[in-house]
Structure 1
């Protein structure tokens, strides 16, 4: 099974629990992986035989810029639903979301959540 990945899409968003997060915003990074039988489906060097990662990127960008949640878990779950519906030829989709400016004590790079779902044929 092939995998189409887009890594480290970055967005300035207004997701978060605390008022300062929702007012000032923060950077999120998103990775998406779409399982797709590339080996079987792509035979003629034709975009119609695959999933356009430009379309995936556009779908994510539009969703992230028009939705705001307290939890990045909610953002991930809702985005997953949109991608599964929008790209039904993907057998599975996995999304990772990293949040960098997390208002909690400690030394760390980011927090990350991951969700995955399958399209049933």
Structure 2
């Protein structure tokens, strides 16, 4: 199955379970992978036969810069559900939300939550 992938989109948002996270904000990174059949788009060279990745980006941006949420799980579900419900031709998708600045007393690069829909 063909895929459209948007990797490492960066956003500044006010998400987190701690009050300081919601008042000061922090960076988040998101990957989206959409499984779909791109055969027709490859033949016609017409955007109408594909899934517009600018619109995917705009969907992610609206969630990540929008209303503060407590959990990465909620952010991933909002993005996944919006894409799944509003774009024809998606047979599977994966949304990864990464948070590099986590309130953990230890060394790590980031925490991420991966949300999937459909055949993934």
- Please state which band the TM-score falls in when normalised by the shorter chain: over 0.9
Deviation at 1:63, TM superposition (A): 2.1
Classify the secondary structure of the residue corresponding to 2:30: strand
Number of the residue aligned with 2:73:
73
Number of the residue aligned with 1:5:
5
Write the deviation string for residues 42-93 of structure 1: whole angstroms up to 9, x where unpaired.
2111111101101111111122222221111111112211111121311111
Classify the secondary structure of the residue corresponding to 2:105: coil
Q: Is the 8 A contact 1:5 1:33 kept in 2?
A: yes
TM-score by length of 2: 0.93
Q: Is the 8 A contact 2:13 2:66 kept in 1?
A: no
Structure 1: which 5+ runs fail to align?
A: none
Number of the residue aligned with 2:30:
30
Structure 2: which 5+ runs fail to align?
A: none
Number of the residue aligned with 1:54:
54
Q: Is the 8 A contact 2:2 2:37 kept in 1?
A: yes
Q: Distance in 1 between matches of 2:48 and 2:72?
A: 33
Q: Distance in 2 between matches of 1:2 and 1:67?
A: 33
Classify the secondary structure of the residue corresponding to 1:63: helix
TM-score by length of 1: 0.92
Q: Distance in 2 between matches of 1:30 and 1:93?
A: 13
Moved over 4 A (4+): none
Give the CA RMSD over aligned residues. Answer: 1.2
Q: Is the 8 A contact 2:6 2:33 kept in 1?
A: yes
Classify the secondary structure of the residue corresponding to 1:82: helix
Range with bigger deviation, 23-32 or 73-82: 73-82
Number of the residue aligned with 2:40:
41
